[in-house]
Amino acid sequence: MKSKIRILLLSTLLLLLFVPVIVKANTCGRDSYTMAFLLVNEEDKEIPEGVIDNLNSLRVIFSEYFYNATSQLATIDTSDGIYTLNITEDMIEHPNIDLQKVMNKFYDTYPDDFDFVTVFTTFPSRGMFQTTVKKNLPGTGGGISNLSSYYGSDDRLLGILFMYNSSRREPSDLFYPGFIGGMLHELGHYWCCYAGDNFVRGEDNAQLEIIQQGIHYYRGLDSPYETGTPMNSDNWISNGDGTYRRENQDGPEKYHPFTLYFMGLLPRSEYDTKFTVYDAGIPGQDFDDQNAVFYKQVDVWDLIAVEGERCPIENNFEEIPEISKTGFIAIVIVVVIMGAFLIKKNSISK
Ligand SMILES: [Zn+2]
């Protein structure tokens, strides 16, 4: 009995000593980010001519487009040049690459200075996607994750963009706004669009209904710009008879103010602005982009009512607490000691 009390006291002491070691993680609201451009090449092969130059131009242009897309509220520093990595056959998983192996090799070679790493390949690969590495953004509807160490980063990396085979692309293709729009789209997935339920015309008490596929805006969410926005809300114009049609103009796209809100950038004075959702049908069932009708209006307060508040702009750089590694290890040690004690106690009582 005495040893039980001793172990309990020791465990409590350990917890008291280490658990209060809380670190602050600046993951709530930020207005500046860094991004590395990484070109992945097969070992023993030459990097095709012109690819580095093209990517260098894209790198500069992307930073400008991002600044514009955030309505001059945030910057992304891409000034570090193009990082190259020669990878071995075991790091290639056709038609893609093994991102974990590639990123670990990247951090073996280069500094851990980036919030985002955008990956291109010199060989055929497929798809554009964003992989969230580290995230804790209350109020956005997105989950919490921390896979930093899995990818070889020491708690720095937030996300990876995979933008596939660069060698197949002509310069005019790479700088075509559609491609940069694709990059803005993939980067935008770090924050958007996860709030509420998919548009289903109110079935099963669906909330908000500004998204579809669980990860994009519903197309019927009106864009305040004549272009659409990178995360899929579109530009709707009146047919003059109470119906609306979709017409996205060409040009550089800007993030919807809701996206800026999810990024922690939208000034609080804009929270009252209402955005129309048009009923253009349910994708896959009766979607019709020529005869949409008014459905409802949504503002940021509606997002807050469903998801809770994203850190407001006044506290844009407020830090949110996270449990430290030492705290976590202390909890594990305590659990192991308690477990060992219980096993011992059971074996004695038998
Ligand atoms: Zn997407």
Task: Select from 263, 75, 64 the least CA-distant residue to 180.
Answer: 64
Which pLDDT score is estimated for 26? 38
Per-residue confidence (pLDDT) for residue 305, from 0 to 100: 97
pLDDT at 173: 64
Question: How far apart (Å, rounded) are the C-alpha atoms in residues 75 and 69?
Answer: 10
CA of 232 to the centre of ligand 1 (A): 8
As assigned by CATH, the class of the 25-188 domain is alpha beta
Residue 20, preceding peptide bond in cis (omega within 30° of 0): no
DSSP letter for 225, please: S
What are the tens digits of pLDDT across the range 90-136?
Answer: 998 877 899 999 999 999 999 999 999 999 998 887 778 999 999 98
Instruction: Tell me, in angstroms, the distance from the centre of ligand 1 to residue 94's CA.
Output: 21
Q: How far is the CA of 192 from the centre of ligand 1 (A)?
A: 9
Give distance in angstroms: CA of 215 to centre of ligand 1: 7
Over the chain (350 residues), what is each successive 10-residue block's mean pLDDT?
A: 63 54 50 96 90 90 96 96 94 88 97 96 86 93 93 97 73 67 96 98 96 98 97 98 96 96 92 97 96 98 95 48 57 72 61
Alpha-carbon gap, residue 68 to 114, rounded angstroms: 21
Angle ∠(328,329,333) on CA atoms, nearest 5 = 120
**pTM for the full model?**
0.80
Q: How far is the CA of 127 from the centre of ligand 1 (A)?
A: 11
The helix (run of H) or strand (run of E) holding residue 56 is helix 51-69
Question: Is residue 227 within 8 Å of residue 248, measured between CB atoms?
Answer: yes
Q: Residues 28-64: pLDDT tens digits?
A: 678 999 999 999 999 989 998 888 988 998 999 999 9
